[in-house]
Amino acid sequence: MERPVILELKNVSVYVNRHTTEEIQILKNINLKVYKNDFITLLGSNGAGKSTLFNVIAGNQPIDEGQILVNGHDVSNMSEEKRTKFISRVFQDPKLGTAPRMTVAENLLLATKRGSRRNLKLRRLKQHLAEFKQITATMPNRLSERLKTPTDNLSGGQRQALSFLMATIKKPAILLLDEHTAALDPKTSAELMEATQTRVTEDELTALMITHQLSDAVTYGNRLLVMKDGRITQDLDAVTKANTNIDELMIY
pLDDT tens profile 127-186: 889 999 999 999 888 999 999 999 999 999 999 999 999 999 999 999 999 999 998 999
Q: Where are the alpha helices (DSSP H) in the chain?
A: 50-58, 80-83, 104-112, 129-136, 156-168, 186-202, 214-219, 238-242
pLDDT averaged over every residue in the chain: 90
**DSSP 8-state secondary structure symbol assigned to residue 17:** S
| Higher per-residue pLDDT: 121 or 91 | 91
Write down the pLDDT at residue 237.
Answer: 86
Q: Give me the mean pLDDT over the 229-241 stretch.
A: 89
Q: Which domains, and CATH codes, for the chain?
A: 1-76+204-251 (3.40.50.300)
Q: Which of 54-58, 96-100, 247-251 has the highest mean pLDDT?
A: 54-58
Residue 4: pLDDT above 50? yes
Residue 13: pLDDT above 50? yes
Q: Give me the mean pLDDT over the 32-51 stretch.
A: 95
CB atoms within 10 A of CB 201: 11
All residues at 6 or more sequence positions from 199 whose CB lies less than 8 Å from its CB, including other chains? 138, 164, 168, 205
- What Rg, from alpha-carbon coordinates, does the chain have? 19
Residue 122: pLDDT above 50? no
Residue 120: pLDDT above 80? no
What is the tens place of the pLDDT at every residue in 65-92?
A: 999 999 999 999 999 999 999 999 999 9
Q: With a threshold of 0.95, does the pTM exceed it?
A: no
Residue 124: pLDDT above 90? no
Write down the pLDDT at residue 218.
Answer: 87
For 148-168, b/e burial (b = at least 16 CB within 10 A) is eeebeebbebbbbbbbbbbbb
Are the C-beta atoms of residues 173 and 82 closer than 8 Å to each other?
no
Give residue 249's pLDDT band: very low, low, confident or very high (50, 70, 90). Answer: low
Residue 224: pLDDT above 50? yes
Q: Give me the mean pLDDT over the 87-101 stretch.
A: 90
Rounded CA separation 221/219 (Å): 7
**Which strand ranges, in their side-by-side order, compose the sheet holding 39-43?**
87-90, 174-178, 207-210, 39-43, 223-228, 231-237
* Among the ranges given (3-7, 176-180, 242-246), the one the predictor scored with the smallest mean pLDDT: 242-246
Write down the pLDDT at residue 147.
Answer: 94
Residue 247: pLDDT above 70? no
Residue 250: pLDDT above 90? no
Rounded CA separation 80/113 (Å): 17
Give residue 112's pLDDT band: very low, low, confident or very high (50, 70, 90). Answer: confident
Angle at 226 between CA 241 and CA 74, to 5 degrees: 110
Are the C-beta atoms of residues 187 and 129 closer than 8 Å to each other?
no
Give one DSSP letter per residue of 210-232, joined into a string. E-S-HHHHHHSSSEEEEEETTEE
Give residue 212's pLDDT band: very low, low, confident or very high (50, 70, 90). Answer: confident
Write down the pLDDT at residue 166.
Answer: 94
